Protein backbone atom coordinates (compact mmCIF):
# COMPACT_ATOMS: atom_id res chain seq x y z
CA UNK A 1 0.00 0.00 0.00
CA UNK A 2 1.43 3.44 -0.95
CA UNK A 3 2.68 5.78 1.77
CA UNK A 4 1.93 9.51 1.67
CA UNK A 5 4.48 11.75 3.37
CA UNK A 6 5.01 15.47 3.77
CA UNK A 7 8.39 16.71 2.58
CA UNK A 8 10.26 19.59 4.17
CA UNK A 9 10.07 21.60 0.98
CA UNK A 10 7.57 24.36 0.38
CA UNK A 11 5.97 25.11 -2.98
CA UNK A 12 6.60 28.75 -3.87
CA UNK A 13 8.60 30.94 -6.25
CA UNK A 14 9.30 29.09 -9.51
CA UNK A 15 8.03 25.76 -8.14
CA UNK A 16 6.16 23.66 -10.69
CA UNK A 17 4.76 20.14 -10.20
CA UNK A 18 6.33 19.00 -13.47
CA UNK A 19 9.85 20.15 -12.55
CA UNK A 20 9.48 18.79 -9.04
CA UNK A 21 8.31 15.39 -10.31
CA UNK A 22 11.31 15.20 -12.62
CA UNK A 23 13.79 16.05 -9.87
CA UNK A 24 12.28 13.77 -7.25
CA UNK A 25 12.09 10.86 -9.70
CA UNK A 26 15.78 11.26 -10.60
CA UNK A 27 16.61 11.20 -6.89
CA UNK A 28 15.16 7.68 -6.62
CA UNK A 29 16.45 6.50 -10.00
CA UNK A 30 17.52 2.86 -9.95
CA UNK A 31 15.14 1.92 -7.16
CA UNK A 32 12.05 -0.25 -7.46
CA UNK A 33 9.99 2.64 -6.15
CA UNK A 34 7.70 5.32 -7.52
CA UNK A 35 7.39 8.79 -6.02
CA UNK A 36 4.39 10.84 -7.15
CA UNK A 37 3.70 14.50 -6.44
CA UNK A 38 0.35 14.74 -4.62
CA UNK A 39 0.10 18.48 -4.08
CA UNK A 40 0.76 20.68 -1.09
CA UNK A 41 -0.89 21.03 2.29
CA UNK A 42 -2.47 24.16 3.71
CA UNK A 43 0.92 25.51 4.84
CA UNK A 44 2.64 24.98 1.50
CA UNK A 45 4.63 21.81 2.30
CA UNK A 46 4.90 19.39 -0.63
CA UNK A 47 3.25 15.99 -0.25
CA UNK A 48 4.24 12.87 -2.18
CA UNK A 49 3.07 9.29 -2.47
CA UNK A 50 5.76 6.60 -2.31
CA UNK A 51 5.18 3.01 -3.40
CA UNK A 52 7.07 -0.03 -4.66
CA UNK A 53 9.39 -2.76 -3.47
CA UNK A 54 12.09 -0.26 -2.42
CA UNK A 55 9.67 2.12 -0.71
CA UNK A 56 11.63 2.09 2.56
CA UNK A 57 14.89 2.98 0.81
CA UNK A 58 13.17 5.73 -1.18
CA UNK A 59 11.80 7.22 2.04
CA UNK A 60 15.29 7.19 3.55
CA UNK A 61 16.66 9.03 0.50
CA UNK A 62 13.88 11.60 0.64
CA UNK A 63 14.53 12.16 4.33
CA UNK A 64 18.27 12.57 3.74
CA UNK A 65 18.13 14.83 0.69
CA UNK A 66 14.90 16.79 1.23
CA UNK A 67 13.64 16.01 4.72
CA UNK A 68 10.41 14.48 6.02
CA UNK A 69 8.15 16.63 8.18
CA UNK A 70 7.54 15.22 11.67
CA UNK A 71 3.83 16.14 11.26
CA UNK A 72 2.89 14.96 14.76
CA UNK A 73 3.86 16.62 18.03
CA UNK A 74 4.11 13.15 19.54
CA UNK A 75 7.36 12.62 17.62
CA UNK A 76 9.04 15.60 19.28
CA UNK A 77 10.65 16.20 22.64
CA UNK A 78 12.87 18.74 24.30
CA UNK A 79 16.20 19.11 22.46
CA UNK A 80 14.83 17.63 19.21
CA UNK A 81 16.71 19.00 16.18
CA UNK A 82 14.34 20.05 13.41
CA UNK A 83 14.58 21.42 9.90
CA UNK A 84 12.15 24.09 8.81
CA UNK A 85 11.47 27.32 6.93
CA UNK A 86 11.16 30.80 8.34
CA UNK A 87 7.57 32.06 8.08
CA UNK A 88 7.69 35.40 9.90
CA UNK A 89 9.78 37.68 12.08
CA UNK A 90 7.05 37.74 14.73
CA UNK A 91 7.23 41.51 14.91
CA UNK A 92 10.22 42.79 16.89
CA UNK A 93 10.49 40.01 19.45
CA UNK A 94 10.92 36.63 17.77
CA UNK A 95 11.60 34.68 14.62
CA UNK A 96 9.03 32.00 13.76
CA UNK A 97 9.97 28.80 11.92
CA UNK A 98 7.49 26.33 10.42
CA UNK A 99 8.90 22.87 11.20
CA UNK A 100 6.11 20.86 9.59
CA UNK A 101 4.04 20.03 12.69
CA UNK A 102 0.29 19.93 12.03
CA UNK A 103 -1.13 17.25 14.34
CA UNK A 104 -2.99 17.42 16.66
CA UNK A 105 -2.50 21.15 15.99
CA UNK A 106 -0.15 23.40 14.06
CA UNK A 107 2.88 24.16 16.22
CA UNK A 108 5.81 26.34 15.11
CA UNK A 109 9.25 26.98 16.58
CA UNK A 110 9.82 30.46 18.02
CA UNK A 111 13.33 31.89 18.41
CA UNK A 112 13.31 34.85 20.79
CA UNK A 113 15.33 37.99 20.15
CA UNK A 114 17.51 37.48 23.28
CA UNK A 115 18.43 33.95 22.10
CA UNK A 116 19.29 35.21 18.63
CA UNK A 117 21.34 38.06 20.09
CA UNK A 118 23.28 35.53 22.18
CA UNK A 119 23.84 33.09 19.34
CA UNK A 120 24.42 35.46 16.43
CA UNK A 121 25.62 38.74 17.94
CA UNK A 122 27.68 37.72 20.97
CA UNK A 123 24.97 39.14 23.21
CA UNK A 124 25.06 42.58 21.63
CA UNK A 125 21.80 44.53 21.73
CA UNK A 126 20.98 44.38 18.01
CA UNK A 127 17.39 44.63 16.81
CA UNK A 128 15.67 41.66 15.24
CA UNK A 129 15.49 43.48 11.91
CA UNK A 130 19.28 43.98 12.00
CA UNK A 131 19.92 40.29 12.68
CA UNK A 132 17.48 39.31 9.93
CA UNK A 133 19.21 41.56 7.41
CA UNK A 134 22.74 40.52 8.37
CA UNK A 135 22.03 36.78 8.26
CA UNK A 136 19.37 36.73 5.51
CA UNK A 137 16.75 35.34 7.88
CA UNK A 138 13.96 35.88 5.37
CA UNK A 139 10.72 34.04 4.68
CA UNK A 140 11.40 30.54 3.29
CA UNK A 141 15.04 30.54 4.41
CA UNK A 142 15.86 26.98 5.60
CA UNK A 143 16.96 26.75 9.22
CA UNK A 144 17.89 23.96 11.60
CA UNK A 145 16.63 24.61 15.11
CA UNK A 146 16.72 22.90 18.50
CA UNK A 147 13.63 22.76 20.69
CA UNK A 148 14.43 24.02 24.19
CA UNK A 149 10.97 24.31 25.76
CA UNK A 150 7.60 22.75 24.88
CA UNK A 151 5.48 24.32 27.62
CA UNK A 152 3.59 26.62 25.22
CA UNK A 153 2.52 24.03 22.65
CA UNK A 154 -1.14 24.68 23.50
CA UNK A 155 -0.56 28.18 22.08
CA UNK A 156 0.95 26.72 18.92
CA UNK A 157 4.58 27.56 19.69
CA UNK A 158 7.68 25.72 20.89
CA UNK A 159 10.61 27.71 22.22
CA UNK A 160 13.71 27.05 20.14
CA UNK A 161 17.24 28.18 19.33
CA UNK A 162 19.52 27.73 16.35
CA UNK A 163 21.06 24.26 16.28
CA UNK A 164 24.81 23.74 16.49
CA UNK A 165 24.95 22.72 12.82
CA UNK A 166 23.12 25.91 11.79
CA UNK A 167 25.55 28.03 13.82
CA UNK A 168 28.48 26.17 12.27
CA UNK A 169 27.12 26.96 8.80
CA UNK A 170 26.93 30.67 9.56
CA UNK A 171 30.36 30.50 11.19
CA UNK A 172 31.95 28.85 8.15
CA UNK A 173 30.34 31.43 5.85
CA UNK A 174 31.80 34.26 7.92
CA UNK A 175 35.20 32.59 8.28
CA UNK A 176 35.46 32.12 4.50
CA UNK A 177 35.33 35.93 4.00
CA UNK A 178 33.39 35.29 0.79
CA UNK A 179 30.13 37.10 0.10
CA UNK A 180 27.11 34.96 -0.70
CA UNK A 181 23.98 35.91 -2.58
CA UNK A 182 21.09 33.99 -1.03
CA UNK A 183 18.42 32.95 -3.54
CA UNK A 184 15.01 31.82 -2.28
CA UNK A 185 12.41 30.51 -4.74
CA UNK A 186 14.39 29.27 -7.77
CA UNK A 187 15.58 25.90 -9.08
CA UNK A 188 19.33 25.28 -9.24
CA UNK A 189 19.16 25.36 -13.04
CA UNK A 190 17.54 28.80 -12.89
CA UNK A 191 20.37 30.12 -10.73
CA UNK A 192 23.06 28.61 -12.97
CA UNK A 193 21.35 30.09 -16.02
CA UNK A 194 21.13 33.53 -14.42
CA UNK A 195 24.83 33.49 -13.58
CA UNK A 196 25.70 32.49 -17.14
CA UNK A 197 23.32 34.81 -18.99
CA UNK A 198 24.34 37.81 -16.89
CA UNK A 199 27.99 37.21 -17.77
CA UNK A 200 29.10 36.93 -14.15
CA UNK A 201 30.38 33.35 -14.16
CA UNK A 202 33.88 34.68 -13.50
CA UNK A 203 32.66 36.31 -10.28
CA UNK A 204 31.17 33.12 -8.82
CA UNK A 205 33.05 30.30 -7.08
CA UNK A 206 30.14 27.87 -6.86
CA UNK A 207 26.44 27.56 -6.09
CA UNK A 208 25.61 25.88 -2.79
CA UNK A 209 22.26 24.11 -2.40
CA UNK A 210 20.33 24.90 0.79
CA UNK A 211 17.14 23.20 -0.46
CA UNK A 212 15.46 22.39 -3.77
CA UNK A 213 14.49 26.06 -4.21
CA UNK A 214 17.05 27.69 -1.93
CA UNK A 215 20.68 28.38 -2.81
CA UNK A 216 23.75 30.41 -1.92
CA UNK A 217 25.76 31.90 -4.81
CA UNK A 218 29.32 32.02 -3.47
CA UNK A 219 31.18 35.06 -4.76
CA UNK A 220 34.91 35.18 -5.50
CA UNK A 221 37.09 37.16 -3.12
CA UNK A 222 36.66 40.83 -3.96
CA UNK A 223 33.19 40.41 -5.47
CA UNK A 224 30.34 41.94 -3.46
CA UNK A 225 26.99 40.12 -3.35
CA UNK A 226 25.27 43.51 -3.27
CA UNK A 227 26.72 44.24 -6.71
CA UNK A 228 25.54 40.90 -8.11
CA UNK A 229 21.99 41.31 -6.86
CA UNK A 230 20.77 43.73 -9.60
CA UNK A 231 22.62 41.70 -12.24
CA UNK A 232 21.10 38.31 -11.41
CA UNK A 233 17.74 39.47 -10.05
CA UNK A 234 16.09 40.25 -13.43
CA UNK A 235 16.80 36.67 -14.56
CA UNK A 236 15.03 35.18 -11.50
CA UNK A 237 11.98 37.42 -11.14
CA UNK A 238 10.03 34.95 -8.95
CA UNK A 239 12.87 34.64 -6.43
CA UNK A 240 13.92 36.67 -3.40
CA UNK A 241 17.62 37.61 -3.34
CA UNK A 242 19.60 38.87 -0.35
CA UNK A 243 23.32 39.52 0.25
CA UNK A 244 25.25 37.79 3.04
CA UNK A 245 28.38 39.82 3.81
CA UNK A 246 30.98 38.47 6.28
CA UNK A 247 32.72 41.86 6.22
CA UNK A 248 29.57 43.70 7.28
CA UNK A 249 28.83 41.15 10.01
CA UNK A 250 32.34 41.59 11.40
CA UNK A 251 32.01 45.37 11.29
CA UNK A 252 28.70 45.46 13.14
CA UNK A 253 29.19 42.58 15.56
CA UNK A 254 32.97 42.85 15.87
CA UNK A 255 33.27 39.10 15.93
CA UNK A 256 35.46 37.13 13.47
CA UNK A 257 33.69 33.78 13.91
CA UNK A 258 30.62 32.43 15.68
What pTM, to 2 d.p., does this model score? 0.94
Looking at residue 209, what is its pLDDT? 96
Per-residue confidence band for 111, with pLDDT thresholds at 50, 70 and 90: very high
Q: Say whether pLDDT at 96 is over 80.
A: yes
Domain 71-162 fold is OB fold (Dihydrolipoamide Acetyltransferase, E2P) (2.40.50)
Q: Determine whether 147 is exposed, middle or buried from the number of CB atoms within 10 Å of its CB (0-12, 13-18, 19+).
A: buried
DSSP state of 122: T
Query: How long is the chain?
Result: 258
Beta strands in 32-103 (DSSP E): 34-40, 45-51, 71-72, 81-88, 94-98, 101-103
Q: What integer is the mean pLDDT of 236-251?
A: 96
DSSP state of 197: H
In angstroms, rounded to a whole number, what is the distance separating the alpha carbons of residues 90 and 201? 37
Comparing 107-116, 122-131, 149-158, 238-247, the range with the smallest average pLDDT is 149-158
Average pLDDT score, the chain: 94
Looking at residue 8, what is its pLDDT? 96
Looking at residue 153, what is its pLDDT? 86
Q: For a pLDDT cut of 70, what percent of the chain falls above it?
A: 97
Looking at residue 1, what is its pLDDT? 82
In angstroms, rounded to a whole number, what is the distance separating the alpha carbons of residues 207 and 20? 19
The predicted-structure confidence for 132-172, as pLDDT tens digits, reads as follows 999 999 999 999 999 999 988 888 999 999 999 999 999 99
Class of domain 171-253 (CATH, top level): alpha beta
Q: Say whether pLDDT at 91 is over 80.
A: no
Q: Phi-psi bin for 122: left (phi > 0), alpha (psi -120 to 50), beta?
A: left
Looking at residue 258, what is its pLDDT? 46
- Asked if residue 123 lies in contact with residue 116, where contact means CB atoms within 8 angstroms, the answer is no
The predicted-structure confidence for 190-237, as pLDDT tens digits, reads as follows 999 999 999 999 999 999 999 999 999 999 999 999 999 999 999 999
Amino acid sequence: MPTTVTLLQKAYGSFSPKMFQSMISSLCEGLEAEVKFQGQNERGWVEVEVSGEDEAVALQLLDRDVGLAPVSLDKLEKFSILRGRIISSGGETELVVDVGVSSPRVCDAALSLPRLQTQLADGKNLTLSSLIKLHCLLEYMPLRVKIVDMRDIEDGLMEAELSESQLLRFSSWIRSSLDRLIVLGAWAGDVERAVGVSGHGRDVVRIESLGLLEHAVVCKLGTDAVGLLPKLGPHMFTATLAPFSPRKIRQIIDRPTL
